[in-house]
Amino acid sequence: MSYQGIIHRYHEFMDLPPAVQPITLYEGNTPLIPVPAIADNLGGGFELYVKYEGLNPTGSFKDRGMTTAMTMAKHNGKKTVICASTGNTAASAAAYASRAGLRAIVMIPEGKVAAGKLAGAVAYGAEIIQIPGSFDDALSFVVEISQKSEIELVNSLNPYRIEGQKTASFEICDELGSAPDWLCLPVGNAGNITAYWMGFTQYNRIKNTGLPHILGVQAEGAAPLVIGHTVEHPETVATAIRIGNPARGEQALMAAEESKGRIIAVSDEKILAAQKMLASSGIWVEPASAAGLAGLIDRIKNNSFDPKGKRIVLVCTGHGMKDPDIIISRGIKPVRLPVDFDKVAEYILGGRIQ
């Protein structure tokens, strides 16, 4: 049977009523791409893969959680959904709400949302509210609104978001035949690390697939789980993880501890270097998505981790096209030439025309 999205494929492992009508854009089923050149660059002798979640329908892994959250909102007769977002949740909620015929309200921190994400939310027809505050401010507002009304919250505090997002770990196990040794991923509001750990432990109970160690990576300017307290004014180029008070912070710390992994922080500079390294293997991701690789590189370089013989998966959470400005701002521009064959040939061939 042809592929019809994650609920169709993994319903038996999800805490969803048996007779739901999936609201789906055929999300999931993303490729697990080997990146041997990057592994060699880091000393070689291990297997390295990218789980390319940027290839979901709206360009990020948020679609996995949104198909389940929106399916249940519709199932429960809700008319309106709401979320706070650094951008990708907004775009995904907007898309799945239009698919479900529901009204979507998204609240975003002003001036801090990447162009491709805001455009997505607009294109899919969400009502967008900007506030001159942080993601954390926006989240506290929408949580309260959802508690005081019939409006459904579709942030990752919504348990159905986690039910959907955990399917990425099922896909990885199905593809590799077992869990990898390490899973490296960015951590913002900490829903995704929570979902992966839930998925791996569940699959291990049922299918004996083993458990990975989890390396969660935050940006230095937004690393509440590393420094141990809330960050009032989080700052990082990785806008998707620019969060100072993660909603599932406790669960993220538990996932790191139970998996005998850890949560670390890396600088923006290292995140952008990792983004470039992924692109040089043909995989362009938004800055936050490169944090997993940046963290892995850091651990290898300071000798706190030996990857030899290991199987490692990097979760690349969102597509590079979400945040074109970060690339453009590096100032590399196309070469301008006149409409003149000889000039073009001279530039390309260095004047050696046969």
Ligand X SMILES: *Cc1c(COP(=O)(O)O)cnc(C)c1O
216 Ramachandran zone, left/alpha/beta (phi>0; psi -120 to 50): beta
DSSP three-state, residue 189: coil
Under the criterion CB under 6 A, does residue 219 sit at the interface with ligand X? no
Tokens of 293: 């690789």
Under the criterion CB under 6 A, does residue 62 sit at the interface with ligand X? yes
* Binding residue (CB under 6 A) for ligand X from 28, 120, 186, 261: 186
Output 62 or 299, the one with its CB closest to ligand X. Answer: 62
Residue bearing tokens 């942080």:
134
- What is the smallest separation between the CB atom of 223 and ligand X, expressed in angstroms? 12
Please report the beta strands in 275-324, taking only residues with DSSP state E, as ranges in sequence order.
311-316
Output 46 or 224, the one with its CB closest to ligand X. Answer: 224
- What is the smallest separation between the CB atom of 97 and ligand X, expressed in angstroms? 17
* Binding residue (CB under 6 A) for ligand X from 24, 58, 88, 209: 88
Residue bearing tokens 């070469």:
335
* Longest CA pairwise span in the chain (Å): 76
Residue bearing tokens 């455009």:
119
Give the range of 2-10, 40-48, 180-188, 330-338 binding ligand X by CB under 6 A. Answer: 180-188
Under the criterion CB under 6 A, does residue 134 sit at the interface with ligand X? no
Output 94 or 187, the one with its CB closest to ligand X. Answer: 187
State the binding string over 241-260 for ligand X (x if CB under 6 A, else -).
x-------------------
Q: Return the residue nearest ligand X (CB atom).
A: 318
Under the criterion CB under 6 A, does residue 58 sit at the interface with ligand X? no
Give the range of 44-52, 108-116, 176-184, 188-196 binding ligand X by CB under 6 A. Answer: 188-196
Output 92 or 178, the one with its CB closest to ligand X. Answer: 92
Output 46 or 217, the one with its CB closest to ligand X. Answer: 217
* Binding residue (CB under 6 A) for ligand X from 24, 156, 167, 209: 156
Output 189 or 201, the one with its CB closest to ligand X. Answer: 189
Under the criterion CB under 6 A, does residue 191 sit at the interface with ligand X? yes
Please report the beta strands in the chain, taking only residues with DSSP state E, as ranges in sequence order.
32-34, 47-52, 80-84, 103-109, 127-131, 152-153, 182-186, 213-219, 262-266, 311-316
Helices (H) and strands (E) in the chain, counts: 15, 10
Output 38 or 241, the one with its CB closest to ligand X. Answer: 241
Give the range of 42-50, 143-151, 271-279, 282-290 binding ligand X by CB under 6 A. Answer: 282-290
CA atoms of 223 and 234, how far apart (whole Å): 8
| Angle ∠(117,159,238) on CA atoms, nearest 5 | 30
Under the criterion CB under 6 A, does residue 218 sit at the interface with ligand X? no
Under the criterion CB under 6 A, does residue 189 sit at the interface with ligand X? yes
Output 24 or 88, the one with its CB closest to ligand X. Answer: 88
CA atoms of 126 and 338, how far apart (whole Å): 43
The residue count for binding ligand X (CB under 6 A) is: 18
8 Å CB contact between 70 and 96: yes
- What is the smallest separation between the CB atom of 229 and ligand X, expressed in angstroms? 18
7: how many CB neighbours lie within 10 A of its CB? 23
* Binding residue (CB under 6 A) for ligand X from 57, 188, 221, 261: 188
CA distances from 58 to 11, 27, 48, 49, 240 (A): 22, 9, 25, 22, 14
- What is the smallest separation between the CB atom of 88 and ligand X, expressed in angstroms? 3
Tokens of 202: 């569940």
DSSP three-state, residue 51: strand
CA atoms of 222 and 233, how far apart (whole Å): 8
Binding residues for ligand X, per CB under 6 A? Answer: 60, 62, 88, 156, 186-192, 240-241, 286, 288-289, 317-318
